[in-house]
Structures are given as structure tokens and as C-alpha cells.
Amino acid sequence: MSIKILIGTVTAQNKDYCWKDFKKQLLGLQKLGHDVLIVDNSDTIVNRPPFKTIHYTKGTLLREKFDLINKQQKSKDNYLTIVTKDCMNIIRDEFLKGDYTHLFILESDVFLDKDFKSLDRLIELNADVANFTYPMKLTRNKGALSLCVQSTNAKGEAKMITPDESKTLLNQGVKVLNVDVHNDKTLTHCGYGCTLVKRRVLEAIDFKAVRTSNGVTPFPDSVFHYDVNKGNFYNVLDTDYIPYHCNINNETENYMKITQIRNNTTRRQRREQDKINKKIQKRG
């Protein structure tokens, strides 16, 4: 059976700082014969030619709703969990309408090698779900890089792996999630920003945002990997290749701040803020 891949991407205006380069990457993937679908949840409708784009328009209302609920209940639920879940299910629905064999989930700030041999690696693994992970800078790690991977200890406590654990996980070959152990902890899931999924998985499960017993609503990628494990699908993480994560220094958050300033300030104030932002980028 021949392979037919749909590239599925969720994006918004806060990722536009790297859109030009990401667009080039998508065009390169198109030249290889892959279809591209973008779900855009920007506050205003943004077209992404030449790619098929579906606009998700509930984000603003959800943000206002969650802001009110969080203020009333002194909670910290993130409306983006619902937005992400909804957008991923739009991609899933469009995928299942076609005759695709695989969905390649690619976050709009994650970049592969220029010849896309890394995608070939994922295909060759022939897993139900095949993942690459990528580095991030979490606030609690005080600027140290860590991989977007979660593990569970003997007590059943689930946490993101530490910067030190991330270093020792690199170049350790292919790990089977919920089977293989690292630093005496079972590797359970990773972000699905660079993930290849077989059709039979998406026929069986959708994307969810579920509140846990301790009151936390995790991002849909963790729930997705939980459902993949529950369904006994073969789920692997290749640690021998790390894609480039353009949001490594929280550029998305910085870009959002800049956009908000531009929407609510004079031209002179914006010029002054641009100067400040350039200084920040040089220091980073």
C-alpha cells in the first residue's frame, strides 16, 4: 500500500514571527507530494496561500470566558487547551475524509532538516505513532534547556523530564513510550509538534482536553498519548534527531506582547518598543 501523508498544522498570528520560513518548509513538503492543511485560530481571519486554510473563530470568546471563570474561581485554566483540542479535531476530521494513510502533525515553529530525511526516518519506523521531540525553556528550569518529554516514577507521579535527564536522553535510539525507562522513570509521552500518526489510530481516538483528578487540564498532547497507550498502539520516540524549535527563547510570547503594544500605542511608542525588543534579542 502506498503512503499518502497529510501535513496538519495549527497556527495563529502569534507565530507569524517565523511564518515566512515555515511557509518555505511547507512548500518543500508539498513538492514531495504531501498535502498541507492549516487551521488558523488568529483573532482575525488570516489567509495562508497557497495552502488550504480553515479558520477557527471561537478563540476570542473562549479567552474571555476563561478569564472570567479564572477570576471568579481563582483558577488558572488555560483556554488554549480547548482551542488546541478543537483545532486538532478539525485536522482529524479533514484527514479522515480523505484517503490518507498518515497524518504528520507539525507545529508552526518546528523545523526539519532541509531535505526532510527526518520525515523519512519517522516513516521507516513503521510505528502507529512516531515522534521527534524538541527543546524548550521552561520557567522553572531557570533558562536551562529541556526536552518536551514526560516520565512517570515508581509512585506514579508524572513530570516533565529535567534538563539533566534531557541531556542523557539524547542519541539513545528509539524509545517505546510507556515501556522504556530512563533514569528509573518510565517515558510516557512527548509533545506532538513533530509526530507521524497512522490512520488506524485516528480512526480510533480523537483529541481531548480532560480535567484530571487534581484539577489540572493538561494540553491535548498528553491526553492523546494516554489514549494511544490505552488503545495498545505502538508509540515510539526517536531520540537520535532533534528538530529546531523556533520558540526556544519564548519568541511567541514576546511577539504577542509586541502585537498588543502595536495595537494600542502611537507610532512613536511603537518605535521605542522596537528598539527595546532588538536589545532584548541581542542579549538572548
User: What is the rounded distance in angstroms from the CA atom of residue 222 to the CA atom of residue 149?
Assistant: 10
The mean-pLDDT minimum among 22-26, 39-43, 165-169 falls in 39-43
Same domain, 118 and 106: yes
pLDDT at 253 over 60: no
> Quick one: pLDDT band at residue 261, thresholds 50, 70, 90?
very low
Same domain, 17 and 27: yes
78 vs 69, 84, 139, CA distance in Å?
11, 10, 17
Q: Decide: 59 and 195 in contact? Cβ < 8 Å.
A: no
CA atoms within a 13 Å half-sphere pointing along the CA-CB vector of 145: 15
Same domain, 100 and 184: yes
SS3 282: helix
Same domain, 132 and 235: yes
Same domain, 239 and 272: no
Q: Which pTM value belongs to this model? A: 0.83
Q: What residue has cell string 500518526?
A: 197
User: What is the rounded distance in angstroms from the CA atom of residue 75 to the CA atom of residue 79?
Assistant: 12
Same domain, 18 and 157: yes
Cis peptide before 50 (omega within 30 of 0): yes
Bridge partners of 186?
152, 181
Q: What percent of the chain has pLDDT over 70?
A: 76
> Looking at the 3D structure of the chain, how many domains does it have?
2
Same domain, 201 and 264: no
SS3 65: helix
Same domain, 203 and 264: no
Helices within 59-197 (DSSP H only): 59-73, 79-97, 117-125, 163-169
E strand or H helix at 268: helix 267-283
Cell digits of residue 29: 513538503
> The CATH number of the domain where 86 resides is what?
3.90.550.60
Pairing of strands 235-238, 244-245: unpaired
Predicted local distance difference test score (pLDDT) of residue 274: 65
Pairing of strands 174-176, 5-11: unpaired
Predicted local distance difference test score (pLDDT) of residue 219: 67
Same domain, 138 and 274: no
Cell digits of residue 241: 534527531
pLDDT at 76 over 70: no
Same domain, 89 and 226: yes
User: What is the rounded distance in angstroms from the CA atom of residue 152 to the CA atom of residue 108?
Assistant: 28
pLDDT at 264 over 60: no
Residues spanned by the domain of 279: 249-284
Residue 191 makes CB contacts below 8 A (sequence gap 6+) with 107, 133, 134, 148, 221
Pairing of strands 145-147, 135-137: antiparallel
Same domain, 107 and 147: yes
Q: Decide: 236 and 176 in contact? Cβ < 8 Å.
A: yes
> Quick one: pLDDT band at residue 141, thresholds 50, 70, 90?
confident
Same domain, 187 and 259: no
Q: Decide: 177 and 189 in contact? Cβ < 8 Å.
A: yes
